[in-house]
Amino acid sequence: GQQLNQSPQSMFIQEGEDVSMNCTSSSIFNTWLWYKQDPGEGPVLLIALYKAGELTSNGRLTAQFGITRKDSFLNISASIPSDVGIYFCAGRRSGGSNYKLTFGKGTLLTVNP
Amino acid sequence: SAVISQKPSRDICQRGTSLTIQCQVDSQVTMMFWYRQQPGQSLTLIATANQGSEATYESGFVIDKFPISRPNLTFSTLTVSNMSPEDSSIYLCSVGRGTVPSTGNEQFFGPGTRLTVL
């Protein structure tokens, strides 16, 4: 099946640092979504992107839909301890069964206070 | 966003038994999905729950093992049948509005059901 390459796999940072993670694909996507999953919880939608080049912010989070439509990144500025969790990218392809999402493998973020 | 609840939140089951997981949404939604998240892994789509018709299963998942019901636009069940330890996972219900992806047609997830099979 379609794969999304998400990196890095894990990050260990100090409180206050900025974080960047990204997802790439060999196929074109028409939607990119970023989720955060806390331990014992379901994924929570952070940001949704629908247009190539779109840059969207949600508080300290900023995500961009790549111009080629094959990649997306998520930045977190001035990290705080509650940013700890697993961040997943998800993409929706153009055409076919275009309601389905493909998920990346996740980025585990640890923030040291 | 929709408010999604799942029952049970967790269970420990014996090999060979079956467990039915319920998903309830606080508003009518067009699309309902069931995902599996194995320990330390990403999310894998099991099937799309279709209201009034048979679910659409992804490659590697079959109706006999994961029967799904969707009697209306706010409720669905997933049964994990004849369980083995390999079925130990988090099972997640997800919903989306609209049949064609468009702005605002995101997918939202329930809290998950944590299943352990002994």
Per-residue model confidence as pLDDT tens for chain B (118 residues): 678 999 999 999 999 999 999 999 998 888 899 999 998 889 999 999 988 888 999 999 999 999 999 999 999 999 999 999 999 999 999 998 654 444 446 789 999 999 999 9
Quote the CA–CA distance of A28 and B64 in Å, as a whole number. Answer: 34
Mind telling me how many Å the CA of A99 is from chain B's nearest CA?
A: 6
The answer, yes or no, to whether residue A2 has pLDDT greater than 70, is no
Closest by alpha carbon to B79, among B113, B52, B45, B42?
B113
Show residues of chain A in contact with B42, CB under 8 Å.
Answer: 88, 103-106
d(CA B46, CA B33): 8
Read off the pLDDT band of A3 (50, 70, 90).
confident
- Give the mean model confidence (pLDDT) for residues A23-37: 93
| Confidence at residue B2, expressed as pLDDT on a 0 to 100 scale | 78
Nearest-CA residue of chain B relative to A5?
B42
Neighbour tally for A86: CB within 10 Å? 18
Separation in Å, CA of B46 to nearest CA in chain A: 11
What backbone torsions phi and psi does residue A98 show, to the nearest 5 degrees?
-85, 15
State the CB neighbour count (10 A cutoff) for residue A21. 23
Average pLDDT, chain B: 90
How far apart are the C-alpha atoms of B98 and B75, rounded to whole Å? Answer: 16
Q: Which residue has the tokens 């939607």?
A: A31
Q: Strand, coil or helix: what is A83?
A: helix
